[in-house]
Amino acid sequence: MILVTGGAGFIGSNFVLDWLAHSDEPVVNLDKLTYAGNLHNLASLRDDPRHVFVQGDIGDAALVVSLLATHRPRAVLHFAAESHVDRSIHGPAAFIETNVNGTFTLLEAVRAYWAGMSAADKAAFRFLHVSTDEVYGTLGADDAPFTETTAYAPNSPYSASKAASDHLVRAYHHTYGLPTLTTHCSNNYGPYHFPEKLIPLILANARAGKPLPIYGDGRQVRDWLYVSDHCAAIRRVLAAGRLGETYNVGGWNEMANLDVVHTLCDILDALDPKPRGSYRDQISYVADRPGHDRRYAIDAGKIERELGWKPAETFETGIRKTVQWYLGNQEWVRDVQSGDYLKWVEKQYGLQDG
């Protein structure tokens, strides 16, 4: 079986569903269920014996050691993290705790577990670390996209904490020989995306008749990838990636934020029109994110050349599926829009608007 951390979050839950749709190999899913973890995402697996959910912290060494000893996974896929840049600006401590200290605790437990395996099991074992393109920092308009050899230059507490975790993973491979793989993916979108991030936030606010907040001039560029393509890339890297290597994963799809928001408004205008006017009328410019990275772009050539992966979805197909999913899953949206999420919106946007 495999052990997934953070499998109740956006990408992790998509990955668990995708994995079990492609294979009968069971998954142990270790997730703390922070505000970002949502077991509703995995409701279809409620009676599926291939999925074992454990609520717990990757920083709980005793728990991780015991899970490894009990389930004896052949791979650990590490998604768990604090993942929202804006939250890292307001409160970086949780990012250091989970992304740095938590990853360290997990690596230590995995190292001990791996050391005790038979030679054959040791050789087959993999630790796959899910990282981000944000560790490379920001690009100018004419710069070449990030490659795997681009120097690290993280600019937010979030990206700095992810960079620190990447360095630990790298060191555990070089020093101890732990069979690691690291992926650096660009911005994902798709089902179960928590509505604090741009695309689901815009969809939720648009339908609620609320302002659609654009930071700064809205000309910042991100490279968008449909989440199931990221899941397929991770499966491919796990199956065939070279040990100790890093792989960039992206959609070859750079877009300015304002263009993304216009696209969402136009699809909503077609699928769920307002009584009068366009959803574009709700666009509202707000204060910029401090230290806002201007442009991310991924060169995903290595994973295509070496492992034969490339995205199956274009932005046009993926974004339409995404809007349709959100329109068809309003109950999911309503469920997550409670508690901590509401306090967050008040803090982030209430202050800026006021």
Q: Which residues bind ligand DAU (CB under 6 A)?
A: 83-85, 132-134, 186-187, 197-198, 201, 213-215, 220, 222, 257, 289, 296
Interacting residue ranges for ligand NAD, rule: CB under 6 A: 5-6, 8-12, 30-34, 36-37, 57-59, 79-83, 98, 102, 130, 132, 162, 185, 187-188, 194
- Work out what residue 195 binds among ligand DAU, ligand NAD, none; the CB cut-off runs from 5 to 8 Å by kind: none
Catalytic residue at 134? yes
Position 38, amino acid: N
Active-site pick, 31, 134, 196, 254: 134
Q: Is 185 or 345 the residue whose CB approaches ligand NAD more closely?
A: 185
Which pair of tokens denotes residue 317?
């197909």
Position 33, amino acid: L
CB of 87 to ligand DAU, least distance (A): 9
Catalytic residue at 331? no
- Work out what residue 295 binds among ligand NAD, ligand DAU, none; the CB cut-off runs from 5 to 8 Å by kind: none
Q: Is 166 or 267 the residue whose CB approaches ligand NAD more closely?
A: 166
Nearest residue (beta carbon) to ligand NAD: 9
Which pair of tokens denotes residue 230?
């990221």
How far is C-alpha 258 from the chain's CA centre?
21
- Work out what residue 198 binds among ligand DAU, ligand NAD, none; the CB cut-off runs from 5 to 8 Å by kind: ligand DAU
- Work out what residue 182 binds among ligand DAU, ligand NAD, none; the CB cut-off runs from 5 to 8 Å by kind: none
Residues 6+ apart with CB under 8 A from 126: 74, 75, 76, 179, 180, 181, 238, 241
Catalytic residue at 133? yes
Determine the Cα–Cα distance for residues 181 and 78; give it in Å rounded to an integer: 10
Q: Assess contact for 67 and 42: CB atoms under 8 A.
A: no
Q: Is 51 or 162 the residue whose CB approaches ligand DAU more closely?
A: 162
Q: Which residues of 316-348 are buried (b: 16+ CB within 10 A; e: fewer)?
A: eebbbbbbebbeeeeebbeebeeeebeebbeeb
- Work out what residue 5 binds among ligand NAD, ligand DAU, none; the CB cut-off runs from 5 to 8 Å by kind: ligand NAD
Q: Is 67 or 181 the residue whose CB approaches ligand DAU more closely?
A: 181
Determine the Cα–Cα distance for residues 285 and 211; give it in Å rounded to an integer: 9
CB of 220 to ligand DAU, least distance (A): 4
Determine the Cα–Cα distance for residues 220 and 297; give it in Å rounded to an integer: 11
Using alpha carbons only, what angle is made at residue 193 by residues 312 and 217, rounded to the nearest 5 degrees?
90
Q: Is 68 or 227 the residue whose CB approaches ligand DAU more closely?
A: 227
CB of 292 to ligand DAU, least distance (A): 6
Scanning 48-156, the segments in alpha helix (DSSP H) are 61-71, 85-90, 93-95, 103-115, 119-124
List residues with catalytic annotation: 133-134, 158
